[in-house]
Amino acid sequence: MKYDVAVIGAGVLGGWTALNLVRMGKRVVLIDSWGAGNSRSSSGGETRVIRCMYGEDSIYIDFVLRAFEMWRAFEREQNLSLLQKTGALWMCSTSDEYVAASIPHLEQNGLAVEALSTGQAAARYPQVDFDGVRSVYLEHEAGYLRARSSCRAVVEAFEMEGGTVLTSDVQAPFLLHGHVDRVDLTDNTLVAEQFVFCCGAWLPKLFPDLLGQSITVTKQDVFYFGVPAGEERFAASRLPVWVDLDERIMYGVPDVGGRGFKAGDDTRGDQFDPSTDQRVPTPGNLTRTRNYLARRFPALRGAPLLESRVCQYANSPDGHLVIDRVPGADNVW
């Protein structure tokens, strides 16, 4: 079958792109090497933070506001609960310039940000030790998404509404006279009018000449720690998602569904191959994270490790998203 659009990559960007296209009446095929929400994907895992704090980059606030609308509408359509509003606790141990630059944009859009003294924050969140924190802000509309469940739900809706889903490896497109009319799959060839590559960390391999030197993929370790028996202060109903802006940016999500207290380090890790490299935490990262928890969340000192995951970041030179046509191709995005 010939498709109007082939979308490659079934993460959050690819899944929503495909769903919106099929709702526009297009014949769409969505292809992923391992399926939506798989353990290699950047959109896999239990949770992902969603927030509007993006410094001076107001375009991302617009994106997130639109995302909130779309997720809420999707939840109502599908009778699902995917987006959980907990607020985001921003702890600024060094400069609060990033948060301060965000606040005017949030306020212009009616989003509440509450500045707290460390004393007020400690009274409200006694499970957190604010020693060394200079300023605290609570972003009320932030929270987390159930990442893997969300991606799978979007792809299921896409398929129910007439889209086609394939699990297959996609080879680099062959450009002929400024146009791509087909791509090779694992055991077949697919023909389409338009191609949209939403492959994140796999883009440098698919477009080595174009992106091989400009998008770098880094390994990012995430840990889930067991909370003490009967302890409710680390549940999502009692603690927001949190970000600690220090020399290293730490972030996390409270215990969701008994899976553990999530903590990660936003510092860029070593270069990483998302297809073939072992997803084993880098030595020293677990110790560093344990030491951080013992200082910032004292009740979690010595907490058992329940699970570790390795994700990846696809980093552009300036940290911004890359959304564009492929140069020299009139139908490839």
Over the stretch 94-148, which tens digit does the pLDDT of each residue have?
889 999 999 999 999 999 999 999 999 999 999 999 999 999 999 999 999 999 9
> What is the secondary structure of 232-268 as a DSSP string?
-TTBTTTS-EEEEESSSEEEEE-B-TTS-EEEEE-S-
Share of the chain above pLDDT 90, in %: 94
Percentages helix, strand, coil for the chain (3-state, rounded to 5) are 30, 30, 45
Query: Do 309 and 222 form a contact (C-beta atoms < 8 A)?
Result: yes
Backbone angles phi, psi at 187, to 5 degrees: -140, 30
Beta-bridged to residue 184, according to DSSP, are: 189
Identify each DSSP E strand in 70-134 by its residue range: 83-85, 88-92, 113-116
Q: What is the pLDDT confidence band of residue 65, given thresholds at 50, 70 and 90?
A: very high
Residue 275's contacts (CB-CB under 8 Å, 6 or more residues apart) are 33, 40, 202, 205
Please state the rounded mean pLDDT for residues 283-301: 96
* Euclidean distance between CA atoms 141 and 82, whole angstroms: 15
Of 187, 182, 191, 192, the closest CA to residue 168 belongs to 187
The answer to whether 310 touches 41, Cβ cutoff 8 Å, is: no
Query: Average pLDDT of 34-43?
Result: 95
What average pLDDT does this structure show over 259-265?
96
Is 88:241 a contact under the CB 8 Å cutoff?
yes
Phi, psi of 188 (to 5 degrees): -160, 180
Indicate the burial class of 1 (C-beta count within 10 angstroms; 0-12, 13-18, 19 or more).
exposed
Whole-number pLDDT of residue 306: 97
Q: What pLDDT, on the 0 to 100 scale, is given for residue 177?
A: 83
| Mean of pLDDT over the chain | 95
- With a CB cutoff of 8 Å and minimum separation 6, the contacts of 318 are none
Q: In this model, does residue 234 exceed pLDDT 90?
A: yes
| CA distances in angstroms from 10 to 18, 58, 153, 216, listed in the order given | 9, 27, 11, 20
Selected residue with higher pLDDT from 177 and 303: 303
pLDDT at 175: 84
pTM: 0.95
pLDDT score of 209 = 93
Q: What is the pLDDT of residue 204?
A: 96
Query: What gap in Å lies between CA 71 and CA 147, rounded to an integer?
Result: 12
pLDDT at residue 285, as a whole number = 95
SS3 state of residue 83: strand
CA-derived radius of gyration, the chain: 21
Residue 6 reports pLDDT greater than 90: yes
